[in-house]
Structure 1
Amino acid sequence: MTSINVDKYKLSDKTARLTAKDIIPMIQSSDSAETREFLQKVSELLIDYVNIQNDRKEKILDFHHPEDMKKLLKLDVPAEAVTLQQLLKDCAITLKYQVKTGHPHFFNQLSCGLDVVSMAGEWLTATANTNMFTYEIAPVFILMENVVLTKMREIIGWNGGDSILAPGGSIANLYAFLAARHRMFPDYKEHGARALPGELVMFTSDQSHYSIKSCAAVCGLGTDNCVMVPSDENGRMIPTELERLILERKSRGQIPFFVNATAGTTVIGAFDPINAIADISEKYNCWFHIDAAWGGGLLLSKKYRHPRLSGVERADSVTWNPHKLMGALLQCSTIHFKQDGLLISCNQMSAEYLFMTDKLYDISYDTGDKVIQCGRHNDVFKLWLQWRSKGTEGFSKHMDHLMELTEHQVRRIKQQSDKFHLIMEPECTNVSFWYIPRRLRGVPHDARKEQELGKICPIIKSRMMQTGTLMVAYQPDDRRPNFFRSIISSIAVTEADVDFMLSEIDRLGQDL
């Protein structure tokens, strides 16, 4: 085991006793030896942690219940400054008890793994510590963002358009909603609800991310006017049901204006039928948004893009999160629009103290007036650097590798059909399955057995966390009780790691 040794990172006696007032920027120096020593020790700790995360013999987590964890950590905010040595210890103990999401046996979230180049980009970003609202203060990063987002729109299949990096996929979806309403009812920006000729209604799959429904709540439609369209047994929206529900709401005098399709649902990884939904959206003059926050990475794959994302270029807007399948560090979320000018028209507030029109450069590069949050973290550099490290072809192979590992997992589950039950063939890297303990092997598969298998999932998960060897998520859905849903989005994962996942679940659960 190579766990973090909290006492390893020792400063010299002199530096150890200092506090933050004794290093840059509190002291005026172009090269403070004490500052350099402190940062080098922090860097040493971080590099050790990178290596530890990739050690398969290392635990994913050292689990403690919240009340016990509070006793292990010093979380108080003191009246007096602590020493630099204590700050180093604080950093080390934080990583000691943090979940190692870059560990090859962490299959728990849509965003996992640790791309070292992307991480290096995040280190630089934190050091540069600039805001992304004007070219004036972020000239290099603004140009990078322009290049990367233009490339992503080209991959979607558009010539032109506009994009922005947003703080998470939920906010990206909100941007799509706002733009859709603005295009159809531009007077809403000034006059609010009285500019609307009637009650607006939107449509999304019953398997979609909750942020779509949240848009209806946040933006004044009300969740009753976010219509949940039934999905088929594989989790895909049923187009005929979408059309039926649009007609039903029109008959009530409501105005359908927004349809969301999901490309990679959170739980099952299902891809809604894009072309069929696009046809219906066009027929009833609805904005067509695709939430590809999870599955968007497959746009880079020649092998797996079609048929999953066929027709994506017909969308009016697309959410795509590189921090998920592409492995960029959190957070890195993008929203793309086919029509240029909507972002600025919808969100512009023309704050003269920030967005003057008489600057010495082309102010079209200022992005702050296109967004609702003003201040924006630099999320592009880590993605730009990662993309350069792989090339587009390398990213394509990366996506193929993740999907091929998923196919390997499905084969291994089928080969061990006495121990595992595959719920459905996956479209993305989500694999949904039950584990079958010894007492239930050979028992016919029916609803009663599924209820028993569902009870087993949380017990196995608790054992995973207590032993620290593995993390795989479980959850119920509207058709079945608890089941395991493993995610492969880390480039570190190998076939042997997938095999370990299944064997470890068997080891932890066979006596249940």
Structure 2
Amino acid sequence: FTYEVAPVFTLMEKYVVNKMLGLAGLSSGDGIFCPGGSISNMYGLNLARCKRFPEFKMDGMTSLPPLRILASEQAHFSIKKGAAFLGFGTKSVVPVKCDVRGRMLTSELEKNIQMIKSKGEEPVCVVATSGTTVLGAFDPLCEIADICDEHKLWMHVDSAWGGAVLLSKKHRELMSGIERADSLTWNPHKMMGALNQCSVFLTRHKDMLTKSHSTGAEYLFQPDKCYDVTFDTGDKSVQCGRKVDVLKLWVMWKSKGDKQLEKAVDNALDCAKYLANRMADTEGFRLLLQPEFTNICFWYIPPSMRNEKEDEGWKTRLSKTNRLKEKRV
């Protein structure tokens, strides 16, 4: 198994990773399948730290100034969880204000970076989001990349949810600028429809996974094996032993092809637009904003509340209607 089957799965992984790197506009780079988007985001944070402070791997956090991670206030909770797990601490995550559609305000990002530096702290990474959990918002990647370039910060994009738009010629502009990211998370078990779990971490830096994680254990990763030792991905991963998550995606992608997956993404966004339009025209439903993605945010206003003054008390009562279990005729 070790010498014959394992390299075949690794070859599949290399093929799919390179395919996804190409879709993201990253002509070269590296990647690895991870047990979920939260772990993939943790990879991004760790590589950002190791890139900025390579001595961390040997010396630990005590050798570093206070590090800060900037992420929008709509970012996934895994950023704080990852900060805690990796030793940054949850307080190291600095929330950046968003506009009414849930997109990071780059003016606020710049202000926060200046504030961090003025306190003698070190900004090390900006986490942008492509497809936020609640509103389905896409942060302005080009503008964020400009700021990251100016301040020499690692740019990680959490596109666990929204990464599938890269399959669509019609909608990939939602992630315009992704080719400038240092790393990204993409979960095919979401909109692509792969079986859970199936998450990929991608980075433009071909050697950073190895530099950040390798310990060179010669009793496992001998350089004189009878096959190409680049198939030994265990040393560049956090885990070593991993499930063959690539197999389910490789088989699905082979069976459906690029065009079918593109049609599925386009159809999902078309259905979201249709539903939003129906809600806007249906009594009792109030669309809160036109969807940017497939997330539909709305209120259902029961007949007894439709002609009342919409003050804070009204909103409090309305927020409880979805939790009520009552018989409706």
Normalised TM-score (structure 2):
0.96
The equivalent residue for 2:143 is 276
Unpaired runs of at least 5, structure 2:
none
Percent identity, aligned pairs only, is 46
The structure-2 alpha-carbon separation of the partners of 1:135 and 1:437, relative to structure 1 and needing over 3 Å to count, comes to farther
3-state SS of paired residue (2:279): helix
Q: How many residues align?
A: 329
Q: Is the 8 A contact 1:185 1:195 kept in 2?
A: no
3-state SS of paired residue (1:214): helix
Counterparts of 1:333 and 1:444, CA distance in 2: 46
Q: CA deviation at 1:397?
A: 0.8
Work out which of the residue numbers 213, 216, 224 in structure 2 matches 1:358: 224
The equivalent residue for 1:341 is 207
- Equivalent residues in 2 for 1:140-151, closer than 5 Å: 140-151=8-19
Counterparts of 1:193 and 1:140, CA distance in 2: 38
The structure-2 alpha-carbon separation of the partners of 1:331 and 1:435, relative to structure 1 and needing over 3 Å to count, comes to same
Q: CA offsets per residue over residues 176-222 of structure 1, 9 Å max, x none? A: 111111111111111112432x2111100111001111222112222
The equivalent residue for 1:205 is 72
Alignment partner of 1:410 is 2:276: yes
363-372 or 349-358, larger mean C-alpha shift:
349-358
Q: CA offsets per residue over residues 455-485 of structure 1, 9 Å max, x none? A: 101125xx7xxxxxxxxxxxxxxxxxxxxxx
Task: Tell me the amino acid that sits aligned with residue 268 of structure 1.
Answer: L
Counterparts of 1:284 and 1:179, CA distance in 2: 17
Counterparts of 1:136 and 1:355, CA distance in 2: 16
Counterparts of 2:76 and 2:241, CA distance in 1: 26
Counterparts of 2:19 and 2:311, CA distance in 1: 49
The structure-2 alpha-carbon separation of the partners of 1:234 and 1:364, relative to structure 1 and needing over 3 Å to count, comes to same
Alignment partner of 1:316 is 2:198: no
The structure-2 alpha-carbon separation of the partners of 1:323 and 1:135, relative to structure 1 and needing over 3 Å to count, comes to farther
Work out which of the residue numbers 160, 163, 175 in structure 1 matches 2:43: 175
Counterparts of 1:340 and 1:221, CA distance in 2: 25
Q: CA deviation at 1:136?
A: 4.8
The equivalent residue for 1:253 is 120
Supply the RMSD in Å over aligned alpha carbons. Answer: 1.6
Counterparts of 2:10 and 2:230, CA distance in 1: 11
3-state SS of paired residue (1:164): strand
3-state SS of paired residue (2:191): coil
3-state SS of paired residue (2:22): helix
Task: Tell me the amino acid that sits aligned with residue 21 of structure 2.
Answer: R
Task: Tell me the amino acid that sits aligned with residue 303 of structure 1.
Answer: K
Q: CA offsets per residue over residues 99-137 of structure 1, 9 Å max, x none? A: xxxxxxxxxxxxxxxxxxxxxxxxxxxxxxx8xxx6654
The equivalent residue for 2:56 is 188
Counterparts of 2:160 and 2:153, CA distance in 1: 21
The structure-2 alpha-carbon separation of the partners of 1:136 and 1:367, relative to structure 1 and needing over 3 Å to count, comes to farther
Counterparts of 1:274 and 1:458, CA distance in 2: 37
- Equivalent residues in 2 for 1:52-201, closer than 5 Å: 136-196=4-64, 198-201=65-68
Q: CA deviation at 1:274?
A: 0.8
- Equivalent residues in 2 for 1:414-493, closer than 5 Å: 414-416=280-282, 418-459=283-324
Q: CA deviation at 1:329?
A: 0.6
Counterparts of 1:283 and 1:447, CA distance in 2: 43
3-state SS of paired residue (1:431): coil
Work out which of the residue numbers 161, 171, 176 in structure 2 matches 1:294: 161
Q: CA deviation at 1:228?
A: 0.7
Counterparts of 1:318 and 1:374, CA distance in 2: 21
Q: CA deviation at 1:423?
A: 1.3
361-370 or 215-224, larger mean C-alpha shift:
215-224
Q: CA offsets per residue over residues 284-340 of structure 1, 9 Å max, x none? A: 11100000000001111111111x101010100010000001111100000000010
The equivalent residue for 1:19 is none
Counterparts of 1:398 and 1:141, CA distance in 2: 27
Q: Is the 8 A contact 1:204 1:228 kept in 2?
A: yes
The equivalent residue for 1:383 is 249
Q: CA deviation at 1:453?
A: 1.5
Counterparts of 1:219 and 1:169, CA distance in 2: 16
Normalised TM-score (structure 1):
0.62
Task: Tell me the amino acid that sits aligned with residue 317 of structure 2.
Answer: E
3-state SS of paired residue (1:175): helix
Q: CA deviation at 1:255?
A: 0.8
Q: Is the 8 A contact 1:157 1:312 kept in 2?
A: yes
The equivalent residue for 1:285 is 152
435-444 or 165-174, larger mean C-alpha shift:
435-444
Q: Is the 8 A contact 1:420 1:434 kept in 2?
A: yes
The equivalent residue for 1:233 is 100
Task: Tell me the amino acid that sits aligned with residue 447 of structure 1.
Answer: E
Q: Is the 8 A contact 1:205 1:230 kept in 2?
A: yes
Q: Is the 8 A contact 1:180 1:287 kept in 2?
A: yes
Q: CA deviation at 1:443?
A: 3.4
Q: Which is greater in Rg?
A: 1
Q: CA deviation at 1:365?
A: 1.4
Task: Tell me the amino acid that sits aligned with residue 172 of structure 2.
Answer: R
Q: CA deviation at 1:427?
A: 1.3
3-state SS of paired residue (1:224): helix
Alignment partner of 1:331 is 2:182: no
Task: Tell me the amino acid that sits aligned with residue 26 of structure 2.
Answer: W
The structure-2 alpha-carbon separation of the partners of 1:150 and 1:135, relative to structure 1 and needing over 3 Å to count, comes to farther
Q: Is the 8 A contact 1:135 1:142 kept in 2?
A: no
Q: CA offsets per residue over residues 150-195 of structure 1, 9 Å max, x none? A: 0000000011100000000000001111111111111111111243
Q: CA deviation at 1:450?
A: 2.1
